[in-house]
Amino acid sequence: MRPHEIIKAIDKLNLSEKLILVEDIWDSIARSNSVLPITEWQKEELEKRYSEYKSGKLELHDWKEVHARLREK
Confidence (pTM): 0.46
**Cα–Cα distance, 51 to 56 (Å, whole number):** 9
- The tens digit of pLDDT for each residue in 19-41 reads 999 999 999 888 886 677 889 99
* Residues in CB range of 18: below 8 A, 6 or more apart: 10
pLDDT, tens digit (0-9, with 9 covering 90-100), for 2-21? 999 999 999 999 999 999 99
Domain boundaries, the chain: 3-32, 40-72
Q: Are 10 and 18 in contact (CB under 8 A)?
A: yes
